[in-house]
Copies of this chain bind each other. A is one copy, B any other.
Amino acid sequence: MEEKKTAGTQIKEIAERLGVSQSTVSVVLGGRGDSIRISKETQKRVLDMAREMNYRPNIYARRLRHAEEDVPYVIAVFWRTDGLNSRMARFIRGLYEASERKNCRVEMVIQPYKPGDLMAHGDMLSGNRISGAIISGLTTADQQELEKGDYSIPIILFERESAKFHCLMTDTFRTGEQCLKYMAAPEVKTAAFIGFNNNNRSERKMEAGFIFGCRDRGIKVREDWNVYLEYSSYEYGYEAAEKVLAHVELPSAWLVADCRLAGGVVDCCHDRNLRIPEDIRLIFFEDSGILKYNKPPLSSVDVPAYEMAETALDIIVLAGTQQMDIPIRREHSPLYFIRESSGKQ
C-alpha cells in the first residue's frame, strides 16, 4: 500500500503472470533462451507477455549486476538544442581526449534542452544520478530556476556567473578590449558592436571591453550605433550591417558577436562597395569553417572549448573525493584567429 512500485513492468511480474521463474524470463529476454535450452513454447510465451506488458529492461540494474571493474564517471553535458553545432562536437572531443590523457573512464551523456526549459531535465541533476554536470547555453531564466535547487553533485556552468555553481568562462571584457586592439589603427575613426538582445552578461562584458578600448584610443563608438539582434542568421547579419552603416564614419572597426552573421555582414559591405579591411575591419565571435576561406579571410575569436573541457573534467574528478564548499571559478583565455579582415598587424 504505502510502498510505491516503479511504473514499468519488471521481470518478476512477467514471471508471476506466466507462472514461471524469474530466471527463465531473464534468460529468454536476454536472448539466451536457446543456449540454455528453454522450450520454444515457453520462450514464445515469455516474449509475447513481455511485449504485451510493454516490458523494458532496467539498464542500471543490469549494469550493477555486471559490476564493472572500473566504474566510470558519468558526466551529463547539457546543451541547448539551438546550439547543437560544431562547437558542441568540439567540446565533446575535448572532453573525450581529456579523459584519455587522465586515463579515467568517462561516460558522456549528452542532454539537449530547449532554452527556458532546462528544468524539464532537472531530475537528472538530483539524487546523485550522475557524477557531474556541465551546462552550456544557460538563459537567465533557466539559471534562476536552477539556482533554486540543492544538488550534491558538481555542476559546472559555461560562460555564466554564479555564486553557487562552478563557472568556466572566458574573460570577455578583456576579449572585447583585445579585439579592438587588433583592429585599431590611426585611420580607424569609428567602431560598432553587433550583438544580441538576450541580455547575456558574458556578451555585455565583451561589448563593454570593446567600448572602453575604443575610448582609450579615441575611436568614436556610440551606443545607438550598436545593433542588437533577436537571432543569428545571414539575413540578420545583412540587416545589422545596413543599420550600422547608416551611422558610422569610415573606416570603421566592427566586433560581431556571432559567426553566423558573417555571410550577411560581408555581403552587405560588398554590395555597398566597401572593402574589407580597408573600409571595414571585422572580427567575429566563434570560429566556424566559413570564416577562414572567405575572401578575404575573416578574423575571429573563440572559446577554448578544448581546455575548458579539460578543466571541467578536473573539477568533476576533484569533487569526487574533495568536499568543495566554495565553487571554483576559472577564466580561460580565448583563442584568437587573426586573419585579413581585422587589418594587418
Residue ranges of A at the interface with B (Cβ–Cβ < 8 Å): 6-8, 30-32, 47, 50-51, 54-64, 66-74, 81, 84-86, 88-90, 92-93, 96-97, 107-112, 123, 127-131, 152, 234, 260, 262-263, 267, 288-290, 292-293, 320-323
Contacts and interface: CB of A to CB of B under 8 A. Distances in A.
Given A64-B64, A290-B289, A110 B92 contact: yes
A55 B30 CA distance: 32
A71 B90 contact: no
A56 to B, nearest CB: 5
A29 to B, nearest CB: 9
A112 B85 contact: no
Nearest to A260: B289
A292 to B, nearest CB: 8
Contact of A56 (B73, B89, B292): B73
A64 B86 CA distance: 34
Contacts of A260: 289
Given A70-B7, A108-B110, A322-B51, A152 B30 contact: yes
A321 to B, nearest CB: 4
A71 B263 CA distance: 45
